[in-house]
Amino acid sequence: NAGVTQTPKFRILKIGQSMTLQCTQDMNHNYMYWYRQDPGMGLKLIYYSVGAGITDKGEVPNGYNVSRSTTEDFPLRLELAAPSQTSVYFCASSLTVSGANVLTFGAGSRLTVL
Amino acid sequence: AQKVTQAQTEISVVEKEDVTLDCVYETRDTTYYLFWYKQPPSGELVFLIRRNSFDEQNEISGRYSWNFQKSTSSFNFTITASQVVDSAVYFCALSEVFTGTASKLTFGTGTRLQVTL
């Protein structure tokens, strides 16, 4: 059982380049999330999805786009990379249960924009 | 707005010492959930515990225990007889409660625990 898989683990981008962080889960979770973690800070929610075809903004969505065409996949796209987007990105998923859901996180993707 | 404060940025202890990680939260919700996650040096986040606002009973799981006090808006985490493997960053998080909707967690800034021999 792989859980939540993120690729790539590391990436260096130049300012203005674009890229997609991939996220796949095999737990049949309907909810998926993207968080970013800046040094010395907690995780901040970028986007989330409650199911295929449905996405919504989190706390820090500017500069990012997402799509959810299948239950399993939730890619995060950076269109014009900026140094402020240097961070560690975590994808997570959860299942619908009563009350607040427990999130299962991927291993993270470290992105550096130079 | 929800807020989670972990005032301890970094704690260093010697193995076998007990250590308490503090977490103070703010929310206007009367119903909410609190979480602790562990982030070891490998980087992934590992779920440790979830507690709802109606349940103020303390919980013990092996060497870990949690003290939830609604009156002081605190959800502290104690590791008894710490071990080197406990070295990690620990995050406290808060979530609003809406059945059937996504859990949007608000995280604290984390406490880095260093356990040495």
Long-range contacts of B11-14 (CB under 8 A, 24+ apart): B11/B111, B11/B112, B11/B113, B11/B114, B12/B113, B12/B114, B12/B115, B12/B116, B13/B82, B13/B113, B13/B114, B13/B115, B13/B116, B14/B115, B14/B116, B14/B117
Q: Nearest by CB to A40, which of B32, B107, B109?
A: B109
pLDDT (tens digit, 9 = 90+) per residue, B50-95?
888 888 778 888 999 999 999 999 999 999 999 999 999 999 999 8
pLDDT (tens digit, 9 = 90+) per residue, A18-71?
999 999 999 999 899 999 999 888 899 999 998 899 999 998 999 999 999 999
Query: Which residues does chain B have within 8 Å of residue A102's beta carbon, measured at their own beta carbons?
Result: 35, 47, 50, 103
Interchain contact B50–A (C-beta under 8 A): yes
Interchain contact B57–A (C-beta under 8 A): no
Residue of A nearest to B104 (CA): A45
